[in-house]
């Protein structure tokens, strides 16, 4: 493993942050800026967009049906990366800007973000899976991403407590990390409120105020809330709300299962992707693990699934074999029908901005910044062009 990994991480992080601050390619549209904005949803995307709007001086109201991070966000594995996005260069680029954005946020004033930057280590124990791993590595390296091939000795240096078993080949991405998803939402909402944003929950949004083909606010069970623009960032709940305006937003749910242990001694500083287990350790010592990237659903009761997942993790990290399981979480990941983000103003009705995606944890800073620019400045960010809601008709 190269001795220059840390330097490269710092250089690329600074480069990405400067590019993100520059707006990464935009052109002016004929649109009036919106200053009073309602954000529907207080998951990571709603919190990110609300915060960035508030930073720009907008009058922001964030409405959440249950409580902040109560949906997909709260049960996310919260792995921050772009390395798993090698199938699409535009999607990879957007995730890379998301990573840079987390570093930008980290240095802004306000509540601390619970980030961990230790990198991510992958390895495979058969030739076919190893070939796929190395193919992904070569693709993202070609796009300028920080990653390198590792062997068993490298893995032992990166994660001394790990027992990898057979290792045909591995990869390490030194710029990647993880974040506490609930803590991140809490911090962003705290920052937004300090800038004047209003966060209300529980509030059930039932529809929109529309006049002359333009959204003028939202209807809730507690009364109407007027706005110059509305951001729809309600995860799976966005589909029905969009359909009420005849806006196509085809979404599916993919269940992910995670096991969370009681705090353990410090065992890992990297996110681990073994052939059959995904593991990370939180800042407070808890082990979070799944049977696959971002949590794969399996059969059995929650207790049975938790034991099975922890058993797989223990084959890689023996110290957790007897760890007490605090909870087993079942998250409903949001997947647009073509798997790519849905970002931008909706067709058919003006001033309704849609923000729904998988990989929302990584993407949140980029989506927050870009959405605020598009809503307030009347511009179109080129990076979002492949992901517009209009592609669904």
pLDDT, tens digit, 9 for 90 and up, residues 120-133: 999 999 999 999 99
pLDDT tens digits along 312-334: 999 999 999 999 999 999 988 88
Predicted pLDDT at 241: 98
Examine residue 202 and say whether the peptide bond preceding it is cis (omega within 30 degrees of 0): yes
200 and 232 in a single domain? The answer is yes
Report how far residue 322's alpha carbon sits from residue 287's, in angstroms, rounded to the nearest whole number. 12
CATH number of the domain encompassing residue 84: 3.50.50.60
Residue-wise burial string across 235-245, b where 16 or more C-beta atoms lie within 10 A, e elsewhere: bbbbbebbeeb
Cα angle 68, 71, 74 (rounded to 5 degrees) comes to 70
Rounded to an integer, the average pLDDT of 80-104 is 98
Report the percentage of the chain scoring pLDDT > 70: 90
315, 336, 357: which is the final residue of a domain? Answer: 336
CATH number of the domain encompassing residue 147: 3.30.9.10
pLDDT bucket at 33, cuts 50 / 70 / 90 = low
pLDDT tens digits along 143-165: 999 999 999 999 999 999 999 99
* Distance spanning both ends of the chain, measured CA to CA: 48
DSSP state of 350: B
Cα–Cα nearest to 116, from 185, 69, 183, 16: 183
Mean pLDDT of all residues belonging to the chain: 91
Is the pLDDT at 27 greater than 90, yes or no? no
Predicted pLDDT at 332: 82
pLDDT tens digits along 175-206: 999 999 999 999 999 999 999 999 999 999 99
Predicted pLDDT at 292: 65
24 and 51 in a single domain? The answer is yes
Residue-wise burial string across 84-119, b where 16 or more C-beta atoms lie within 10 A, e elsewhere: bbbeeebbbbbbbbbbbbbbbbeeeebeebbbbbbb
Cα angle 271, 276, 277 (rounded to 5 degrees) comes to 35
Is the pLDDT at 20 greater than 80, yes or no? no
24 and 97 in a single domain? The answer is yes
Rounded to an integer, the average pLDDT of 83-106 is 98
269 and 259 in a single domain? The answer is yes
pLDDT tens digits along 214-255: 999 999 999 999 999 999 999 999 999 999 999 999 999 888
How many C-beta atoms lie closer than 10 Å to residue 74's C-beta? 18
Report how far residue 294's alpha carbon sits from residue 68's, in angstroms, rounded to the nearest whole number. 20
Name the strands in the sheet holding 251-261, side by side, starting at the edge strand that comes first in the sequence.
148-150, 169-173, 120-124, 271-273, 278-281, 287-290, 251-261, 325-336
Report how far residue 347's alpha carbon sits from residue 123's, in angstroms, rounded to the nearest whole number. 44
238 and 164 in a single domain? The answer is no
216 and 258 in a single domain? The answer is no
pLDDT bucket at 354, cuts 50 / 70 / 90 = very high
259 and 135 in a single domain? The answer is yes
265 and 147 in a single domain? The answer is yes
pLDDT tens digits along 252-293: 988 889 999 999 999 999 999 999 999 999 999 999 999 865
pLDDT bucket at 34, cuts 50 / 70 / 90 = low
242 and 348 in a single domain? The answer is yes
pLDDT tens digits along 356-365: 999 999 999 9
17 and 104 in a single domain? The answer is yes
Predicted pLDDT at 376: 97
Residue with more model confidence, 312 or 13: 312
213 and 307 in a single domain? The answer is no
Report the percentage of the chain scoring pLDDT > 90: 85
What is the number of domains present in the chain? 2
Tokens found for residue 305: 């699934």
Is there a contact between 188 and 360 (Cβ–Cβ < 8 Å)? no
327: Cβ–Cβ under 8 A, 6 or more apart, which residues?
259, 260
Is there a contact between 280 and 271 (Cβ–Cβ < 8 Å)? yes
Report how far residue 42's alpha carbon sits from residue 66's, in angstroms, rounded to the nearest whole number. 9
pLDDT bucket at 298, cuts 50 / 70 / 90 = low
Domain that holds residue 96: 5-111+181-250+337-392
314, 336, 358: which is the final residue of a domain? Answer: 336
Predicted pLDDT at 4: 41
319, 336, 353: which is the final residue of a domain? Answer: 336
Predicted pLDDT at 296: 52
Residue-wise burial string across 305-320, b where 16 or more C-beta atoms lie within 10 A, e elsewhere: bbebbbebbbbbbebb
156 and 257 in a single domain? The answer is yes
Is there a contact between 39 and 62 (Cβ–Cβ < 8 Å)? yes
Helices within the chain (DSSP H only): 5-22, 44-55, 89-106, 127-142, 152-158, 181-194, 238-243, 302-316, 360-377
């Amino acid at each position: 493993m190269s001795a220059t990994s840390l330097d490269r991480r710092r250089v690329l992080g600074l480069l990405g942050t400067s590019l993100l601050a520059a707006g990464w390619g935009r052109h002016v549209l004929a649109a009036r800026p919106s200053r009073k904005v309602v954000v529907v949803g207080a998951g990571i995307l709603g919190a990110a967009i609300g915060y960035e709007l508030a930073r720009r001086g907008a009058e922001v109201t964030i409405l959440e049906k249950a409580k902040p991070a109560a949906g997909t966000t709260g049960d996310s594995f919260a792995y921050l990366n772009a390395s798993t996005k090698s199938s699409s260069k535009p999607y990879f680029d957007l995730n890379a800007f998301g990573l840079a954005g987390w570093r930008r946020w980290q240095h802004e004033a306000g509540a601390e973000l619970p980030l961990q930057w230790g990198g991510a280590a992958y390895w495979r124990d058969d030739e076919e899976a190893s070939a796929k791993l190395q193919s992904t590595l070569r693709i993202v390296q070609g796009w300028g991403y920080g990653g390198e091939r590792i062997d068993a000795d490298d893995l032992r240096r990166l994660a001394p407590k790990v027992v990898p078993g057979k290792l045909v080949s591995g990869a390490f991405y030194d710029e990647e990390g993880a974040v506490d998803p609930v803590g991140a939402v809490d911090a962003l909402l705290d920052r937004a409120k300090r800038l004047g944003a209003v966060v209300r929950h529980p509030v059930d949004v039932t529809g929109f105020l529309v006049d002359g083909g333009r959204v003028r606010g939202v209807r809730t069970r507690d009364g109407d809330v007027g706005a110059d623009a509305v951001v729809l960032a309600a995860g799976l709940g966005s589909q029905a709300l969009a359909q009420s305006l005849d806006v196509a937003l085809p979404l599916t749910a993919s269940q992910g299962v995670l096991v969370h242990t009681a705090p353990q001694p410090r065992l890992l500083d990297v996110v681990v992707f073994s052939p059959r287990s995904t593991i990370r350790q939180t800042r407070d010592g808890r082990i979070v693990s799944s049977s696959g990237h971002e949590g794969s659903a399996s059969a059995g009761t929650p207790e049975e699934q938790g034991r099975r997942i922890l058993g797989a993790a223990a084959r890689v990290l023996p110290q957790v074999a007897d760890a007490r399981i605090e909870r087993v979480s079942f998250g409903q990941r949001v997947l647009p029908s073509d798997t790519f983000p849905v970002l931008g103003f909706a067709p058919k009705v003006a001033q309704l901005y849609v923000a729904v995606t998988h990989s929302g944890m990584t993407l949140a800073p980029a989506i927050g910044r870009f959405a605020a620019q598009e809503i307030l400045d009347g511009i179109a960010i080129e990076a979002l062009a492949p992901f517009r809601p209009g592609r669904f008709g």
